[in-house]
Amino acid sequence: MLIKQADELHPSEITPENVYLNRRTFIRIASAAGIGLASSAVFPHLLDSQDRWPQGKKGPYDVSEEVNKFKDITTYNNFYEFGVDKGDPAENSGSFHPKPWTVHIEGEIKKPATYNLDDILKLSKIEDRIYRHRCVEGWSMVIPWRGFPLADLIKRVEPTSKAKYVTFETIYRPEEMPGQKRSVLEWPYVEGLRMDEARHPLTLLAVGLYGKDLLNQNGAPLRLVVPWKYGFKSIKSIVRIKFVEKEPQTTWNLLAPNEYGFYSNVNPDVDHPRWSQKTERRIGDFLKRKTLMFNGYGDLVSGMYTGMDLKKNF
């Protein structure tokens, strides 16, 4: 499931394999026919295949909305370890090496260990799921993730009764992640969830999207996906998972606690201090749409927050 190191990559692996092969086939056909690339409409099936993936039966958590195009998902995203602009992760992540990969799991658990990611994947039930993804800046996407429930891993390591929260830590490699050479954030990046949130069946440890392994810019080889929370909670390139008793301090919450709360649930009634969260723009759309409470997953997750003041605990 893991993608190759950057120095082992070939064009057919940087671009999705089927796209790479289809485009080369198309170029050969077009050249032989003397029609040139301007006639790409003759072979539209060769050019849109990047937006296809092996879809199985619709799952209980899949949304029915149109999925964003592969190009949207892989060229417009936040990953400050590679730069602060939306295109920086795709532009600057080519030297990142996501293989081999180990994950340290520790804290209030009965089975702490350092796990090879390949071994974790062999014991995991990999699923394809279509989730909404909403960022705090007011843009959103619908993404076909590939991963396994975090709850499965939690069950395997056997948390003790003291484990109330789970923290996650991104790898620190400034020689491969140029954004870490700047002090825009405190490195390494840290995020956290309450245990019931971590065990929720919506919460995924993702290893791919569009039926392929994660690309570097999308958090290869292992990232968190928590679809009812703002995107910065879905930490990327995870190397450490720790089970703790007290609410952890997380990167954005430490930097600007008045802007980024620990819970960070999508809530149109809690504005960011510098902009409204009542509307969002789906990447690829012209018009904005109303932001849904809990990003539209309220019927599945709202019970975890019964009795909480969601404006105070934002």
Beta bridge partners of 143: 131
Under DSSP, the state recorded for 291 is P
What DSSP element (H or E) covers 129? strand 127-134
- Percentage helix, strand, coil, to 5, in the chain? 30, 20, 45
Alpha carbon of 118 to those of 1, 2, 222: distances in Å? 8, 8, 11
For 232-244, how does the pLDDT look when each residue is reduced to its tens digit (9 = 90+)? 999 999 999 999 9
For 77-108, how does the pLDDT look when each residue is reduced to its tens digit (9 = 90+)? 999 999 999 999 999 999 999 999 999 999 99
Predicted confidence band at 55 (pLDDT cuts at 50, 70, 90)?
confident
Percent of the chain exceeding pLDDT 70 equals: 84
Instruction: Give me 235's structure tokens.
Output: 């930490």
Lowest mean pLDDT among 26-40, 126-140, 299-313: 26-40
- Whether the pLDDT of residue 17 is over 70: the answer is no
Rounded average pLDDT over 287-302: 98
Predicted confidence band at 50 (pLDDT cuts at 50, 70, 90)?
confident
For 204-232, how does the pLDDT look when each residue is reduced to its tens digit (9 = 90+)? 999 999 999 999 999 999 999 999 999 99
Mean pLDDT over the full length of the chain:
87
Residue pair 219/190 in contact (Cβ under 8 Å)? The answer is no
Alpha carbon of 91 to those of 82, 85, 94, 262: distances in Å? 8, 10, 7, 30
pLDDT at 6: 39
pLDDT at 52: 81
DSSP string, 114-174: EEEHHHHHHTS--EEEEEEEE-TTSEEEEEEEEEEEHHHHHHHH-B-TT--EEEEEE---T
3-state secondary structure of 91: helix
Of 37 and 34, the structure prediction assigns the larger pLDDT to 34
Predicted confidence band at 31 (pLDDT cuts at 50, 70, 90)?
very low
For 156-167, how does the pLDDT look when each residue is reduced to its tens digit (9 = 90+)? 999 999 999 999
Residues near 170 by beta carbon (within 8 Å), at least 6 away in sequence: 81, 188, 189, 190, 235, 236, 237, 238, 239
Predicted confidence band at 42 (pLDDT cuts at 50, 70, 90)?
very low
Predicted confidence band at 49 (pLDDT cuts at 50, 70, 90)?
low
How long a stretch of residues is the chain?
314
Q: Tokens 């995203």 identify what position?
A: 77
Rounded average pLDDT over 95-124: 96
- Whether the pLDDT of residue 46 is over 70: the answer is no
As a whole number of angstroms, the distance between CA 97 and CA 224 comes to 19
Query: Please, what is the Cα angle at 227 between 226 and 228, to 5 degrees?
Result: 100
Predicted confidence band at 54 (pLDDT cuts at 50, 70, 90)?
confident
What DSSP element (H or E) covers 117? helix 117-122
Instruction: Give me 310's structure tokens.
Output: 């969601």
Topology given in CATH for the domain delimited by 60-305:
Sulfite Oxidase; Chain A, domain 2 (3.90.420)
Of 55 and 166, the structure prediction assigns the larger pLDDT to 166
3-state secondary structure of 20: helix
As a whole number of angstroms, the distance between CA 177 and CA 168 comes to 18
Closest CA to 280 of 145, 141, 167, 89: 141
- What are the residue ranges spanned by the domains of the chain? 1-52, 60-305
Predicted confidence band at 202 (pLDDT cuts at 50, 70, 90)?
very high
pLDDT at 13: 39
- Whether the pLDDT of residue 32 is over 60: the answer is no
Rounded average pLDDT over 26-39: 38
- Whether the pLDDT of residue 35 is over 60: the answer is no
